[in-house]
Amino acid sequence: MQLMNEGTVARVVGWEKGEGECDWTPALFESVQEMDGFVYGDYAGANLSKYCVKMNKAEGKTLVVLKPCDTLSFRQLIHEHRLNRDNFYLIGAGCKGMKDESGLLLKCKTCKGKDFEIFDEIIDDEESKQPTAIMDRMEGVTALENETAQERFDFWRNELSRCIRCNACRNVCPACTCEKCVFDNPASSVASKAPVTDFEENVFHIIRAFHVAGRCTDCGECSRVCPQHIPLHLLNRKFIKDMNELYGEYQAGVGEEERTPMTTYTKTDAEPSIVRERGNA
Amino acid sequence: MENNAKFLTETALRISGVNPRKCMKCGKCSGTCPNYDAMEYHPHQFVAMVEKGQIEKLMQSKSIYLCLSCMACVERCPRGVEPGKLVEAVRLMQIRQQDKNHKGARDIPEFADESVPQQLLMAAMRKYRK
Amino acid sequence: MIYSYYPGCTLKDRAKQLDICARKSAEALGITLQELPNWQCCGAVYPQVTDEIASRLSAVRALQSAEGGKLVTMCSACHHVLKRTAYDWNADENFRTKAANYLAEDGGYDGATEVVHFLEVLRDEVGFDELKKKVVNPLTGRKIGAFYGCMVLRPGKVLAFDDPENPTIIEDFIKAIGATPVKYPYRNECCGAYVALEDKGSAEHQVDRALNSAMDAGCDELITACPLCMYNLVENATAHKLPVKYFTELLAEALGVKEG
Amino acid sequence: MQMVNETGWKPKIVAFCCNWCSYAGADLAGSGRLSYPADIKIIRVPCSCRVNPLFILRAFERGADGVILCGCHPGDCHYTSGNYYARRRMTMLFSMLDYLGIERGRTRVEWVSAAEGAKFSATMNDFAKTITELGENRKLGDLRCKK
Amino acid sequence: MQKIGVFVCWCGSNIAATVDVEAVAEAVKNEPGVVFSANYQYMCSAAGQKLIQDAIHEHHLTGIVVCSCSPRMHEATFRKTAESAGLNPYMVEIANIREQCSWIHKDKEEATAKAIVLAKAAISKLRNDTPLQAGTSAVTKRCLVIGGGIAGIQTALDVADAGYEVDIVEQRPTIGGRMAQLDKTFPTLDCAACILTPKMVEASQNEKINIISYAKVEKVSGFVGSFKATIRKKARFVDETKCTGCSLCTTKCPSRKGKNEFNMNLDNRGAIYIPFAQAIPNVAVIDPEQCIKLKTGKCGLCEKVCSAGAINYKQEDELIEREYGAIVVATGFKPIDPSPLNEFGYADNADVVTSLEFERLMNAAGPTKGTLLRPSDGKHPKTIVFIQCVGSRCEENTKRGKPYCSKICCMYTAKHAMLVREKYPDTDVHVFYIDVRTPGKNFDEFYRRAAEQYGVDYIKGMVGKVAKEGDKLMVQGSDLINNEQVHIAADMVVLATAIEPDPTARSIGTMLTASMDTNDFFTEAHPKLRPVESPTAGIFLSGVAQGPKDIPETVAQAGAAASKVIGLLAKDHLVTNPCVAQSNELMCNGCSQCEKVCPYGAITYVEKEVRGPGVREVRRVAQVNPAVCQGCGACTVTCPSGAMDLKGFSNKQILAEVDAICRW
């Protein structure tokens, strides 16, 4: 607030209370008065990085509050030239694990750590440095991998057939920042607003996961916002797990390297036939 | 190649893990071998003779007991052939046969007095008998 | 600094000085060498063929009982066997599977033990510069040649002890204890000890050549880390004689902890 | 020659071939009269890296039973690195399809050089055999159109 | 709506025997857009082509599909046919119904059915085709040669001879390279300086050649015909335009501890020096690491003695930016450091020398003024052992050297042995060899002369140990022919060390996006058919940068590279492949993923105003340079939005083919 008074920042991206007690939503505050509505705490689960893309060209600096995992998305967006670091003032906010009405968020149960990848200032306390992970991040993926192909097929048919193509996953995803999504572009030959065939939602979700592969920081927003509760993060994590195993450990949004595993290669990479040779058929 | 020679060759190749075809016949092994003059067959000959299946001759030769196992040939071979491993393999093939121990406790020479380290005695037992 | 320590048979008997001086020096340097309980023979000779499994088991047992830490060796021969076996365990699946079957009853081995020679501890953990500071009795003016022999150096890829063709670790050690190292060409060649009982003449030939090389370069004395080299250099020298000491003896001397 | 299974069903197979190696390999198979099933239709692309996962999914969506991608051997890419990217992309895509419970054999990548007419033919025969054994693609197809 | 004509070729009986060509022509008639279809015996014949042209005129066709042999065979033919009838040549699609249909199927019904599908797929693609224009790009008529050794000099001379400007960029203070360090040359034994220095002078006097010495290429951008290079010319602290090369300063300089690189560090030079007497440019240079004035501010002796007033302690590096149409890599080689192979004792003994050091020791301008004296004590060596293949021909896993044969060592060792025996007949010369390789005109005769006439002792075997003993070097090696281990008490040992690419080659390769092998030699576009071109257009290879070679071969290759350069520079414009990537700026979000996978660096980003329906803002968008893009399509798949597409193989075109194939 002081920064806004001093004119250092022109606006703040944060959270405000929504309709329900546990429903806090991202909000833009453009004056000191508006800041009264600013909240931070147990229900500030939303990742604000994506909202910054719109602010990137705004006049003056924008202050953004980022949780540790959000900073990965922010850094990744810098790598992709979607954000200009100089246009933002970043407050790293300590996180004790975020919740919704049913308790700890899934992404916090598999928390990736409490380090801030990028920040101007950190506000946290000892408690928010404690790890909140209570399960292995890849648990769900491994469990599915261990099932039979038919079981997997049935699982995903059941999940993906519920998709209503509301595009919430796409709209919230910090890696989905295309000016125009290929599925919205009538000139692309693959445009589809709503699924006409049983397979189209499959295509949409496979391709979406493929498009963000290597850039997805596993922030878990897609699953969090899905009104049909489809575990979309299991698709992204599958790619992350495969890339880690085949091409070396990689976390999008960490460090200065702008190349992702999908934009590089080694001469001794595994052949695609490795898929046929491993795991449950 | 007759059957026995073939079997011996295959055994030597298998247990040594050496591929004598990699040899470019430069003679580095024999050029570097510190005990060359004491040996009837020299390191490069081990490689050539194994490739030609002449294992029997090598097994009968005193040369297999005279390798110092110093690995100079292994280290310096420019093709990674590692002749020292072949010497070891042929020696083991010889002493693994029944009654073919080369040395026993009673063969320890007289000069082996108190100054001989245990390791050396153990080494002799390990290298020369099964 | 606490390390597991594998002395080996010879250090309990013919090479007592190598062991005693090492322990005293370690103490003076603040290093604790914890002797492995119930250690067995290292196997004496590393078998270079792939199907010798049983003869490498005692070495694996030593690695196993070090429980994944650093295992310090003193004798070059033991070091050679333990280090190569440790390497095989991680690099050779065939050996690992078979050896693991043998060891199944005594609990497994996870391949984590790292075998380090005491000289490596001095170089990499203590640091020769630090060692130099702890020397109370510098051996100034003594012209000492290092006799590496073969077993700590080769094969270089596995032993990874020093450059096998141009080693400097013992020379650096000699400098650290205040003496003058003298390099000579045969310092990294074989002493011939392995054939001493088979062909004394050969062993003598190797020793004479090494000593001749050392004297020609101006060494007044030699140091070694190997009981086999020690034996051979002393007992099988025919043409010339040079005093030979274990490196730990001079270390203890320099640190002022040597008895007598 | 056409692959027919017991019910008389014939597979539909799309082969993407890079212009410089595999398409030339297919031509060589042709001039050597090395046959493979007519069920396989080749689409020429400049490089294996031109093949978008979308193309493959689209083929399945429109009723293909198998899709194979052929390119220059790793290290021999006309564009130096295209097939390395293709290799990663296809590994990821195939792994995802497997994860979604799709039969593994339906997709394949093979490296076929311009000199490997025989390999091209053998590969295509083998792939057609695999697809025939797997039967009709039901999991990936456009069910609505098939009714 | 397009008007499409379909032309089905019989190819005699090649197609018609197994494919019912009439049925194919009939089946496609009712496809959307098709207004004409025909079949004919030989479409590629003059009559066939006329048939197509007539149809184009008569039916006002906008595109044609030819069902015939492989496009690799006649696509170009039919494109020309179409073009001459006024149709855009890229509105032509080929359905391959011969190699991929009639030739591999026996059943006529089956083959006909397939041919129809292939024809329909081609028609579907054609419906999505758009006319493409092959672009042109201008050619800058100047050539950059990186490296001023014999390879670079020869290429420059040949290119300049054809009338084009050439810049030679040389990292050392003088051109001449390795050849300038050699004493005599095989197999003629004429002195290297005698044949090289006239060429150096010729290069310096040729008004088309500009020598930029003591410099390095720092940055290269652009593409074939239009490269832009930034060259850093290091400060010499001597004004090149004023220095007369009188060398007075070099004799007066009090700082004399500099290693003389030209003499392989076998003697010392002053802080201000001229590398050698015939250096080009014949201008002094100050070593800033060694110069007392530059380090402490005191001294300044050279400035005082220089009557030309050429000394300038304040001189700074100079950056030169220039455009070139072609770039020749002639970065040459260096001998490896044999120290790690210390069984040869190089690291410990001054009298164990490399062959290049030996050249200097034999050379009249060398540290011993041409009298062969050993470095340790300045005595004449009476026994010399030469060891070949030091660090060559080693399996890579052994880490004992290079996997390749260095090619020149057998010959120069024979030369050395011969020269020693000729000059000092009382010297014993032994050569340890693995194989003696002497393919080349008069080469084997040369080697045999060394053995037969000069009595050089060739020993088939390798040396295992060189040990100093007293003032001798005890050489222990194997003699495989005699099956014995030999021990030679030598006074000097000469190592024929492997040669490796100059250490700068790797970074230059990266800068030029010119591919290299694992040994850092530049890769040729084709090992047999295009040996002096890099796969990257506009980059040419000259000399050892491409692989080990001797002087005659280097000169031949340098000339070949020059002729390729001349062929390029002779054109005013280059026609570019129109099937290249194109970015739709309205859809591009500037994420830079495509740039990272482009093997040619064809994609750049610009901030520009983007206008479209409801859009008018400045965005960061990708731009493809159509002259650089080779059309692989790697970028198109990396692009999530589909903004990046490939002309001629667009998403729409390929999807149309997929749909068509899967429909039937």
C51 touches chain B (CB under 8 A): yes
Q: Which parts of chain A sit beneath pLDDT 70?
A: 1-5, 192-199, 279-281
Q: Which residues does residue E272 pair with via DSSP β-bridges, in sequence order?
A: E286
E106 touches chain D (CB under 8 A): yes
Same domain, A209 and A245: yes
D84 touches chain E (CB under 8 A): no
- Kindly state whether residue E311 falls inside one of the protein's structural domains: no
Same domain, A224 and A159: yes
> What pLDDT score was predicted for residue B68?
94
Same domain, E488 and E507: no
Domain boundary among A129, A148, A165: A129
Domains annotated on chain B, with CATH: 3-97 (1.10.1060.10)
- Kindly state whether residue D51 falls inside one of the protein's structural domains: yes
- Where residue D147 falls among pLDDT bands split at 50, 70, 90? very low
DSSP assignment of C19-57 equals: HHHHHHHHHHTT-EEEEPTT-----SS---STT--GGGH
Same domain, A186 and A238: yes
Domain boundary among A129, A149, A179: A129
Domain boundary among E520, E547, E569: E569
Same domain, E346 and E410: yes
Q: What is the CATH number of the domain that holds E93?
A: 3.40.50
Alpha carbon A26 to chain centroid, angstroms = 14
**Cis before C155? omega within 30:** yes
pLDDT tens across E101-118, in order? Answer: 999 999 999 999 999 999
Closest alpha carbon within chain C to B75: C155
Residue D44 pLDDT exceeds 70: yes
- Kindly state whether residue D103 falls inside one of the protein's structural domains: yes
Same domain, E70 and E149: no
pLDDT tens across E423-476, in order? Answer: 999 999 999 999 999 999 999 999 999 999 999 999 999 999 999 999 999 999
Helical ranges in chain C per DSSP H: 16-28, 57-65, 76-91, 93-103, 118-120, 128-134, 156-159, 169-176, 200-217, 227-235, 247-255
Same domain, E282 and E369: no
Number of domains chain D is built from: 1
Of E72, E658, E661, the CB nearest to D27: E72
Q: D–B contact (≥3 CB pairs within 8 Å)? A: no
- Kindly state whether residue E652 falls inside one of the protein's structural domains: no
Tell me the C-alpha distance between A150 and A160, whole Å: 15
Closest CA–CA distance from residue E218 to any residue of chain D (Å): 24
Q: What is the CATH number of the domain that holds E638?
A: 3.30.70.3270
- Kindly state whether residue A134 falls inside one of the protein's structural domains: no
Q: Which residue bears the tokens 């149809």?
A: E55
Same domain, A164 and A85: no
pLDDT tens across B80-111, in order? Answer: 999 999 999 999 999 999 888 998 878 887 77
Q: Which residue bears the tokens 């660090």?
A: E391
Same domain, A96 and A164: no
Q: Is the dihedral angle over the CA atoms D126, D127, D129, D130 positive or is it negative?
A: positive
- Kindly state whether residue E137 falls inside one of the protein's structural domains: no
Say if the Cβ atoms of B126 and C228 lie within 8 Å: no
- Kindly state whether residue D145 falls inside one of the protein's structural domains: no
Closest alpha carbon within chain E to B26: E434
Same domain, A177 and A240: yes
Take residue B59 and report the two structure tokens written for it: 């097994």
Per-residue 3-state assignment (H helix, E strand, C coil) for chain A: CHHHHCCCCCEEEEEEECCCCCCEEEEEECCCCHHHHCECCCCCCCCCHHHHHHHCCCCCCEEEEECHHHHHHHHHHHHCCCCCHHHEEEEEECCCCCEECCEECHHHHCCCCCCCCCCCEEECCCHHHCCCCCCCCCHHHHHHHCCCHHHHHHHHHHHHCCCCCCCHHHHHCCCCCCCCCCCCCHHHCCCCCCCCCCCHHHHHHHHHHHHHCCCCCCCCHHHHHCCCCCCCHHHHHHHHHHHHHHHCCCCCCCCCCCCCHHHCCCCCCCCCCHHHHCCCC
Residue D142 pLDDT exceeds 70: no
Tell me the C-alpha distance between E249 and E304, whole Å: 9
- Over residues C80-84, mean pLDDT: 96
Residue of C80, C198, C224, C238 to mutate, testing the B interface (most B Cβ within 10 Å of its Cβ): C198
Same domain, E480 and E509: no
Neighbours of A, requiring at least 3 CB pairs below 8 Å, are D, E
Residue C260 pLDDT exceeds 70: no
Take residue E376 and report the two structure tokens written for it: 């340790």
Q: What is the CATH number of the domain that holds D83?
A: 3.40.50
- Kindly state whether residue E664 falls inside one of the protein's structural domains: no
Same domain, A87 and A42: yes
Same domain, A148 and A266: yes
Q: What is the CATH number of the domain that holds E447?
A: 3.50.50.60
Determine the residue type at A260: T
Closest CA–CA distance from residue A57 to any residue of chain D (Å): 32
- Kindly state whether residue A71 falls inside one of the protein's structural domains: yes
Parallel, antiparallel, or unpaired: how do β-strands E383-390 and E492-497 relate?
parallel
% of chain C with per-residue pLDDT over 90: 87
Tell me the C-alpha distance between E41 and E17, whole Å: 11
Q: Judge residue E484's burial from the number of C-beta atoms within 10 Å of its C-beta, 0-12 exposed, 13-18 middle, 19 or more buried.
A: middle
E360 φ, ψ (degrees, to nearest 5): -65, -35
- Kindly state whether residue E166 falls inside one of the protein's structural domains: yes
- Kindly state whether residue D47 falls inside one of the protein's structural domains: yes
Take residue D44 and report the two structure tokens written for it: 């020429």
- Kindly state whether residue E148 falls inside one of the protein's structural domains: yes
Tell me the C-alpha distance between A151 and E548, whole Å: 60
> What pLDDT score was predicted for residue A161?
86
Residue of C150, C158, C163, C166 to mutate, testing the E interface (most E Cβ within 10 Å of its Cβ): C166
- The SS3 call for residue E283 is coil
Same domain, A266 and A144: yes
- Kindly state whether residue D92 falls inside one of the protein's structural domains: yes
Number of domains chain E is built from: 5
Same domain, E228 and E325: yes
Beta-carbon pairs below 8 A across chains D and E: 132
CA Rg value for chain E: 33
Same domain, A271 and A155: yes
**Partners of residue C192 in chain B, C-beta under 8 Å:** 34-35, 68
- Kindly state whether residue A206 falls inside one of the protein's structural domains: yes
A222 φ, ψ (degrees, to nearest 5): -55, -45
- Kindly state whether residue D5 falls inside one of the protein's structural domains: no
**Partners of residue E339 in chain C, C-beta under 8 Å:** 166
- Kindly state whether residue A114 falls inside one of the protein's structural domains: yes
Same domain, A112 and A181: no
DSSP assignment of E391-411 equals: TSS--GGGTSS-SS--SSHHH
Same domain, E25 and E82: yes
Closest alpha carbon within chain B to E390: B78
Q: A–B contact (≥3 CB pairs within 8 Å)? A: no
**DSSP, res E522:** B
pLDDT tens across E138-188, in order? Answer: 999 999 999 999 999 999 999 999 999 999 999 999 999 999 999 999 999
Same domain, E295 and E405: no
Neighbours of D, requiring at least 3 CB pairs below 8 Å, are A, E
Segments of chain B assigned E as strands: none
- Where residue D144 falls among pLDDT bands split at 50, 70, 90? very low
> What pLDDT score was predicted for residue E621?
94
Take residue E62 and report the two structure tokens written for it: 């906008």
> What pLDDT score was predicted for residue A4?
67
Of B33, B44, B79, the CB nearest to E480: B44
- Kindly state whether residue E384 falls inside one of the protein's structural domains: yes
> What pLDDT score was predicted for residue D146?
36
Say if the Cβ atoms of E638 and A262 lie within 8 Å: yes
> What pLDDT score was predicted for residue D76?
78
Domain range for D70 is 13-140
Domains annotated on chain C, with CATH: 2-119 (1.20.1050.140), 133-255 (3.40.50.1860)
Same domain, E486 and E521: no
- Kindly state whether residue E310 falls inside one of the protein's structural domains: no
Take residue B90 and report the two structure tokens written for it: 């042929």
**Partners of residue B25 in chain E, C-beta under 8 Å:** 434, 480
Of B22, B31, B44, the CB nearest to E463: B31
- Where residue C52 falls among pLDDT bands split at 50, 70, 90? very high
- Kindly state whether residue D4 falls inside one of the protein's structural domains: no
> What pLDDT score was predicted for residue A197?
64
- The SS3 call for residue C8 is coil
> What pLDDT score was predicted for residue D34?
95
Say if the Cβ atoms of B78 and E394 lie within 8 Å: yes
Domain range for A213 is 139-277
Same domain, E492 and E348: yes
pLDDT tens across E305-344, in order? Answer: 999 999 999 999 999 999 999 999 999 999 999 999 999 9
Report the 10 Å Cβ neighbour count for A145: 17
Q: Which parts of chain E sit beneath pLDDT 50?
A: none
Contact (CB, 8 A) for E549 and E557: yes
Of B89, B109, B120, the CB nearest to C228: B120
- Order of strands across the sheet that contains E4-9: E34-40, E4-9, E63-68, E92-96
Take residue E486 and report the two structure tokens written for it: 């030999």
Helical ranges in E570-609 per DSSP H: 593-597
Take residue C96 and report the two structure tokens written for it: 């690992």
**Partners of residue C228 in chain B, C-beta under 8 Å:** 117, 119-120, 123
Q: Which residue, D24, D121, D41, is CA-closest to E125?
A: D41
Same domain, E429 and E511: no
Number of domains chain A is built from: 2
Same domain, A184 and A227: yes
**Partners of residue E469 in chain C, C-beta under 8 Å:** 185, 212-213, 216
pLDDT tens across B20-72, in order? Answer: 999 999 999 999 999 999 999 999 999 999 999 999 999 999 999 999 999 99
Say if the Cβ atoms of D79 and E632 lie within 8 Å: yes
- Between the alpha carbon of residue E356 and those of residues E277, E336, E403, the distances in Å are 19, 11, 21
